[in-house]
Structure 1
């Protein structure tokens, strides 16, 4: 357990009265509590519950082949039965929803512009489950991963596991894990699950294609949870109406690629093994097989590929790509139903199917918006408020001199990242990186900064009042952790040549259309010109150094290899660590090699961490992405004298750093 102890570090002190959510409304106490997981410890079996030791083998005494509730007398046929799946995905700990957090009023309706939130989501799930069960439906509630990492609440994971406690309180029947559950290493994920189990969490966590390494101690804590049955490869639910539902999961290729800190954990990508798992569930008596996936839709491997490779899967409840699918997709050549419910608690999917013999037929699908028309659950919101108090009292105040709802700035316009384009929020973020990084490197200042749209996680919305609080800023850049174990990816700084500056721009010009908007790069300190009609990997034909304050060079850097100068840049550690993906994707056509000022190659990016306090040379105090944004925004001018700086009007639209 040494790894877990090291990882918990400074926030172990967060244990407080709010660390365990009340049991009322949890698991078997809610309206869906009669839906047992066969021998998994999630049902009313007290001994199994106490030990949290799920058995993924189907119960031989329950179901259509035995003497359980799913049977009918010999010679009779089973009448059609209806199953409704209420589903979420990619919640990213958005327990307070999305929008200006100071305006979020989940217990009243018609008075705020925010969307999402745990209280509203809990209320709608309870309403829909009650109505559907009254109509004779079997109902299950699922989540398809990335439930953590996206807000300040993730700081509490190792001691309170708020997202897992939410799932238990609301009565989810099964969840899976996404790539962001590994953002703080497997040991952190294990500590999160252990904290949840200690607080009464019993929901099966599916991890069908997760592979641990018996020889590496880095995932030992996860292996213990697998052995204890808290993490299972598959599960079977026997529902009150007689249906047996088989469940598996799959974390896809792209999700695995963008989880560098998951090591030594890996993920089997042989889709034939998904079919084998589905077939085994079918052989065990499952009337319907459901896959909770973290694969997504626009990548080289997609939910469509899984549907084609695993015909025994009837329904894919997806995640990872944050697609809010208003209609059910049926991939070509399959009968598989594919759904996904956006992200950030903004939607609840409701899929109803009819099972008639061996056929699974679509009846209805609704993508519910979670907004201010829904009065939230007061108990859930009360628990969220207690968590906020704990964050303020034990972390934000003592360590950073701020609070969750501290007012930071004002804006008269939204700052957003629409994708596949320069954005005003991307300009603000990269200006923050470049400006703050240059201030801590005065001898050889950073001249340019870069960030991927995939790391900029949320928008800054204007709302009704136009006030940005600390929690809003944190939602923009919430991901990751550094060697200091303080949440947030750190900024690193290194030197590149002119061709590598062009390569960084070329990622947007040539790769974003293939790899998705995560490959769109925002930047500060230069302008780029691209010719969309140019050849693949050769569309960027101009890179001009400068900035809006000092002006831009009228001539491009030489892009023929003749420029031997090196240019210091700042980028977040996560993006820098994935630069090898660019080289492999382009078969060496694009490459960026981090260098020191003398041109020698950097082999350990942690040696290039920016120090936010260079006056203490004995140690590096990491400059986190969110710290740079927070510091920059607080430094902006206060035009109206109310002590809150304003986001300058120049940021109302993109600043024109990308041209074609």
Structure 2
């Protein structure tokens, strides 16, 4: 029986060998390297937005998008679907934007939660330095001391000035974490080099930069790419760039891709851009997923050693309410919110989710305000709240406060219809720290002459069209400007508030009391250099003496306590909202309807009429006019001289 089966087995064996031979490469031909499918999940500009965000959709409805517990659900899904083949990265500005960042220095909540979600790497954005270099150092130290899993931090072109006290402290923290120029991670059988870059625009946006050195990002990228290819033998290079992409132009990260074509994928942060389709420059892919964690970028690549990756798919997944939050992440977020209540809000009497007021309408969106750079209902609300807070703190003993100003660049969010909670309000004015190093910019008051106030208002007429962050939001003043006039001399018809509730023409040499944030006053000095000294104003006391130390101009929120209790921007807005009348009797204050749209506190009046061009003109316009006349006269004399010489030459030729 066994012998009868031999021919059948032999035939089967020969058939198998034949089939193998048919599919094997001929002698001398290399076997193609196996392709590996890699999934890269990416975010940027999270700005401490742990909870879902109130977003107004195209139907003017408020929807809740984002939330890191929901985002974590997508990460878990992708890792379960593609085990060992998922990379999770972020391109910086992971902090600063909600009440969570009040724990930045002590808890490092952002990095620790990112570690728990499963982020592999992130980089440093400009807002990680909002509490200066010592704040970043404290955060890195707290993160390391926690013992929690943390993402790797890569920053190739950031250095510190060791001769500065805070610089040496930061360097020690950077080395201890450690923050490195690049890192190498293996996924899906390939070696991935990841490095971080700090862009030019991010450098310009640094609030405190005394201790920081930023090297040229293109030159640095070339050097890092060479090390990754030649020394580390990586198969794929990912750049976490806090530089930016703009859908309408040739942006920083597009230039980076062109100048350093060896980069395979750039995660582009800083500009909050949403790229529904990637930008492709040569073999480099550029992706951006917006801000606040409302979307998670998902890039799928086919990779194999020795070759550039192949783009399989790219899309942004909305972090929607349909996603089930990961319980462990949701619990961690709630734990941090309780710490905020205990460590930061307790002194104010507020709690994280406390309802301050309600609104039956949406105010202008953050995006629309940045795009239009004009007066807004939200800006009117903020400026009014500053004046109200100062007058409330000082009582009848305080001097009359004529006006308040606030730049659009310091407004970080808007308010939507529904309940307005403490964190919603904090997000609107979330930036900075005070002289006392507590969270939030404090308010100051000082005196300026009418002439100096006009100089400041020229930021709206001349600088705001160039950069919306200079757009002014005002209270207690009215004015017009003609955009066709000479730059820095476009504002006229200025009327200023009076104690009886009216308005009167502003006098150039009279002193008026002004309220602004501490940072606005600091930025005024920078604007002076930007305008070649044209926009200049010297803070003064009510006697007209210059104030050389702005701490002397701080508003005391509670004069009955020893020392100065800084009156914070965000607290002024919160108190103002909570103090509004309850119109529907439900026990909650109602946002007045007057803020539904701008009140018309200033307006642009374009005109080429000579009367309007010269109306209330200053030396700037008259100087330009005189210069123009002089040039015209010289040109006329020159033309006449040339004509005389030509006539004389022609007569000579005729003779």
The alignment partner of 2:100 has SS state of helix
Q: Is the 8 A contact 1:526 1:547 kept in 2?
A: no
Counterpart in 1 of 2:482?
Answer: 531
Counterpart in 1 of 2:458?
Answer: 506
- Over aligned residue pairs, what C-alpha RMSD do you find? 2.8
Output the CA distance in 2 between the equivalents of 1:424 and 1:547. Answer: 22
CA gap 1:596/1:366 in 2 versus in 1, 3 angstroms: same
Q: Summarize deviations over 1:25-76 as a string: whole Å, max 9, x none.
A: xxxxxxxxxxxxxxxxxxxxxxxxxxxxxxxxxxxxxxxxxxxxxxxx9944
Note the 1:207-246 alignment, pairs <5 A: 207-228=155-176, 230-239=178-187, 241-246=188-193
CA gap 1:290/1:521 in 2 versus in 1, 3 angstroms: farther
Q: Is the 8 A contact 1:492 1:610 kept in 2?
A: yes
Output the CA distance in 1 between the equivalents of 2:538 and 2:38. Answer: 53
Counterpart in 1 of 2:25?
Answer: none
Output the CA distance in 1 between the equivalents of 2:502 and 2:38. Answer: 62
The alignment partner of 1:236 has SS state of strand
Q: Summarize deviations over 1:195-219 as a string: whole Å, max 9, x none.
A: 2222323321112111112222213
Counterpart in 2 of 1:633?
Answer: 577
Output the CA distance in 2 between the equivalents of 1:74 and 1:603. Answer: 79
Q: Is the 8 A contact 1:503 1:590 kept in 2?
A: yes
Note the 1:314-333 alignment, pairs <5 A: 314-330=264-280
Counterpart in 2 of 1:611?
Answer: 556
| TM-score, normalised with respect to structure 1 | 0.79
Counterpart in 1 of 2:593?
Answer: 649
Of 89, 95, 112, 2:44 maps to 89
Q: Is the 8 A contact 2:120 2:151 kept in 1?
A: yes
List alignment gaps of at least 5 residues for structure 1: 1-72, 101-110
Counterpart in 2 of 1:280?
Answer: 227
Structure with greater helix share of residues? 2
Q: Is the 8 A contact 2:245 2:288 kept in 1?
A: no
Counterpart in 1 of 2:426?
Answer: 474
Alpha-carbon shift at residue 289 of structure 1 (Å): 1.9
Counterpart in 2 of 1:39?
Answer: none
Q: Is the 8 A contact 1:282 1:312 kept in 2?
A: no
Output the CA distance in 1 between the equivalents of 2:557 and 2:515. Answer: 13
Of 366, 376, 379, 1:426 maps to 379
Counterpart in 1 of 2:106?
Answer: 159
Higher relative contact order (CA 8 A, sep 6+): 1
Output the CA distance in 2 between the equivalents of 1:609 and 1:657. Answer: 26
Of 73, 77, 98, 1:123 maps to 73
| TM-score, normalised with respect to structure 2 | 0.79
Output the CA distance in 1 between the equivalents of 2:471 and 2:550. Answer: 22
Q: Summarize deviations over 1:351-390 as a string: whole Å, max 9, x none.
A: 2334464434433221222221222112211221222223
Counterpart in 1 of 2:400?
Answer: 445
CA gap 1:81/1:654 in 2 versus in 1, 3 angstroms: same
Q: Is the 8 A contact 2:273 2:289 kept in 1?
A: yes
Note the 1:163-562 alignment, pairs <5 A: 163-199=110-146, 200-228=148-176, 230-239=178-187, 241-269=188-216, 271-283=218-230, 284-297=232-245, 302-330=252-280, 335-355=283-303, 357-397=306-346, 399-416=347-364, 417=366, 418-419=368-369, 420-441=373-394, 442-462=397-417, 466-515=418-467, 517-546=468-497, 550-553=501-504, 555=505, 557=506
CA gap 1:619/1:325 in 2 versus in 1, 3 angstroms: same
The alignment partner of 2:273 has SS state of coil
CA gap 1:611/1:228 in 2 versus in 1, 3 angstroms: same
Larger Rg: 2
The alignment partner of 2:473 has SS state of strand
Q: Is the 8 A contact 1:112 1:372 kept in 2?
A: no
Q: Is the 8 A contact 1:252 1:301 kept in 2?
A: no
User: Number of residue pairs matched?
Assistant: 560
Q: Is the 8 A contact 2:267 2:286 kept in 1?
A: yes
Q: Is the 8 A contact 1:440 1:612 kept in 2?
A: yes
Q: Is the 8 A contact 1:524 1:547 kept in 2?
A: no
The alignment partner of 2:409 has SS state of coil
List alignment gaps of at least 5 residues for structure 2: 1-27, 56-60, 605-655
Alpha-carbon shift at residue 236 of structure 1 (Å): 1.5
The alignment partner of 1:250 has SS state of strand
